[in-house]
Structure 1
Amino acid sequence: TAPAPAPAAAQPAHGPRREGRRSAVQCPASAAAARPRALLALPAASLLLLLLRLLLLFILLLRFRLVILILLFLFPLLLALLLVLFLVARLALLILLFVVPFRAATAAAAATAAPRAPPAAVAT
């Protein structure tokens, strides 16, 4: 009384074939176009406003000659100091992670190998 199942060749392996519009998974460009343009323009507008504020602050601070001195000399010096600190910290981390456990492992291996008796002499 149950209807006979359709043969396997009638349907593709990925499911029944649908005609018509494509889904958003198949076409990501249509999903991006469906978003409102205001949401896409909001981060750019806030970034532009932030850059404008920084430019105004820089123009106000340029009246003082000390700012030019800081920008020309102290800022690159600070960057170089930060780079040196980063390299030293990385070297210290490398030593802590690899050299110290390796030395501890070799010391433990030497301690366990020391009490071992020498091999027995072969009788001639």
Structure 2
Amino acid sequence: MAEWGDLVAYIRESYRVVRDEPDELRIRLVFGDDPDTEQRAQIVVIAREILDQREDWVQIATPFARHEEVDLLEVLTEVGDAIVVGGLAVMGEHVVLRHSLPLINLDINEFTDPLELVAGAAELLEQQFTGRDDY
């Protein structure tokens, strides 16, 4: 898979798309298969980015809190101690966990593994720092 259109086709087939725009998809991932526990979900933004006006990249980003609701130093410390894939950013009023990948020569597992790791980590951060399931 080396083009945005190929990745978009894969995402449409494999995930629940909740928003579909030319350079951005939003999907909803659900966590928890146990019918006795409440399922949690995470909205993930998958966006096409152009690096240096020549290279196609894909960015995986998911919000987990509003920046005014959390102690950013505490969140950064937790991410530094516990998160392997992704980095923190403030985008608008949200704190997001995100990861970027070059599209050229991208194998599907190079996309799905970081997608699941970023979404799962953001879900845990949301639960830990807000106690809610807003995203």
Given the two structures, how large is their TM-score scaled by the length of structure 1?
A: 0.19
Q: Which one has the bigger helix percentage?
A: 1
Greater relative CO (CA pairs within 8 A, separation 6+): 2
Q: Quick check: which has more Rg, 1 or 2?
A: 1
